[in-house]
Amino acid sequence: MRRSLFFKSTLWAILSLCKLETFGQHVPLSDPENNANWILNENLSDEFNGEELDKTKWWILGENNDYRSKWKGRAPGQFAPHNVKVENGELVLISRWDPDFNYDHSKNNDVYYGGTKEAADKSWPITQACIMSESFFRYGYMEIRCKAADAPVTAAFWTTGYQSEIDMIENFGKLPIGNPEKKPETLERKYRTNLISWDPDKSKDHKNYKVEDVLEQRVADDYFVYGFEWDKNYIKTYFNGKLVRHATREELEAKNQWKYDVPQELWLNSEVFSWYGLPTEKDLAQPAAFKVDYVRIWQKEITGPEFAALDFEGPFHYQGRSTNWWAPKNSWWRMKNEKAASGEMSLRFKPEAPFKGAYSAFSPYGAIDLPAGDNEVKFKIWIDPETKIKEMNLILNAPFTKIPVNLSKIKKGEWVEVSRTFKHPRASVTGLDKNADRLQIMIPADQIKSREALLYIDDISFGKMNTPF
């Protein structure tokens, strides 16, 4: 009976795809009549019909040795640009045994790239491939038609946003020769989906949402269509257009597993999972290809690439790329939807005693572009009645400009708009490296005069900007 249902589902999916291609339509396979009125987000969708990757939509991790402070791959595998191809109407992401590659001499999860925990000795010289979108979006239906690599590597289509990750698929192509970890053969048929929280303040016993569905065929045997609907009130997963799972926000919130109200960026990649068994040279005697026919993103209302970044509603979109605010874990600055002057998000400061050093949050380098001369900065602030903080600083990086803000006389327990004038000695240094301008929000520990502290910042604006947000 299950095989019959699978055959009918697969046949229906193939016929539907043929129908869609015949009439040049792009609607979700799960909603062929488009009853939900989906709109294709063309900025994020890709048919991969060109001769090379569309660099207005995607960037390749490791190209020109640039990983943009993201990730170099799951060691011992390392992402390498020569493993990304677009050919025959497909994106091809290759994993290979690559002893001649110049591996980074750093560790990921306590393992050297290309090596072991003990040495960067090229004993596991594996290179892989990864691309990411240049822009973010918020809510929608994500669909991919793909074929997993027939090797002990993953085929992954996923997103990351502020302190959050959605793995629409994270499938494993093939058990390694000899099956050293003694995993069941069903691993090659599992459709895996995860919701991962990267909240630094989550409880130590937090459990992420991780589900698996066993298919009738191996994920590396053929092309399949995987769908994931991300709504503000639920998530749904689909296989070949048919609903597989449905979880409501209420169900997920009950387990503290809902962190998904913030814009997300797309990833497509392959990784090695040591707990399933690392591929050997024999496993990768031939390069293993994760093939993607298309990626399509639909929304009921198109969002991005522009978000109100200075209002903390999403990432900055600048110079063709998108990047979020950043703060070290121990800085205690967090973007939260607890209290906002406008929109849904604001920047919260809630440090834990004892207070030490200085606490900072940063915009990306190159995201602030101000002219020379007189200017004004405005923002809104909410300070808890029990909080006593004398002063905070707004700091521009290049040219260096410090703007002190006295907080001691600001009314507490309500949103207050604060304005400060300043003189910018020169125009902002533009670019994408650490020499470019950015905004730093900083509170020195010695300025906190209460035993606890809590405040929120929102709606930052500059009177004059060369490139407004």
**What tens digit of pLDDT does each residue of 406-464 get?**
999 999 999 999 999 999 999 999 999 999 999 999 999 999 999 999 999 999 999 99
Q: What is the pLDDT of residue 69?
A: 85
For residue 11, what pLDDT band results from cuts at 50, 70 and 90?
A: very low
Does 2-299 match 309-462 in CATH topology?
yes
Beta carbons of 455 and 383 less than 8 angstroms apart: yes
Overall average pLDDT of the 207-236 stretch: 98
If one compares 40 and 11, the residue with the highest pLDDT of the two is 40
Q: What is the pLDDT of residue 468?
A: 67
Average pLDDT of the chain is: 94
Residue 284 has a CB neighbour count (10 Å cut-off) of 22
Phi/psi for 189 (5° steps) reads -120, 10
Residue whose pair of structure tokens reads 């327990």 in the numeric block: 413
Overall average pLDDT of the 259-278 stretch: 97
Distance CA(58)–CA(269), nearest Å, equals: 12
Overall average pLDDT of the 268-290 stretch: 98
Phi/psi for 53 (5° steps) reads -65, 135
Residue 400 in this model has a pLDDT that exceeds 80 = yes
Please give the share of the chain, as a percent, with pLDDT higher than 90.
Answer: 92
Residue count (the chain) = 469
Tokens of 343: 């929109």
Q: What is the pLDDT of residue 31?
A: 97
If one compares 6 and 172, the residue with the highest pLDDT of the two is 172
If one compares 456 and 16, the residue with the highest pLDDT of the two is 456
Overall average pLDDT of the 129-149 stretch: 98
pLDDT 10s digits, 176-210: 999 999 999 999 999 999 999 999 999 999 999 99
Q: What is the pLDDT of residue 469?
A: 61
CA dihedral 346, 407, 454, 416 (to 10 degrees): -40
Q: Does residue 28 have a cis bond before it (omega within 30 degrees)?
A: no
Q: What is the pLDDT of residue 169?
A: 98
Residue 333 in this model has a pLDDT that exceeds 50 = yes
Q: What is the pLDDT of residue 446?
A: 97
- Is the alpha carbon torsion for 90, 96, 102, 107 positive or negative? positive
Residue 398 in this model has a pLDDT that exceeds 80 = yes
**Domain residue spans of the chain:** 2-299, 309-462
* CATH number for domain 309-462, candidates 2.60.40.420, 2.40.100.10, 1.20.140.10, 2.60.120.260: 2.60.120.260
Q: What is the pLDDT of residue 88?
A: 97
Phi/psi for 19 (5° steps) reads -65, -45
For residue 25, what pLDDT band results from cuts at 50, 70 and 90?
A: low
Residue 272 in this model has a pLDDT that exceeds 60 = yes
CA angle 374, 376, 377 (to 5 degrees): 145
Distance CA(381)–CA(6), nearest Å, equals: 56
CATH fold of 2-299 reads Jelly Rolls (2.60.120)
pLDDT 10s digits, 338-397: 999 999 999 999 998 899 999 999 999 999 999 999 999 999 999 999 999 999 999 999
Tokens of 43: 């900025």
Burial class (CB in 10 A: 0-12, 13-18, 19+), 85: middle
Q: What is the pLDDT of residue 5?
A: 36
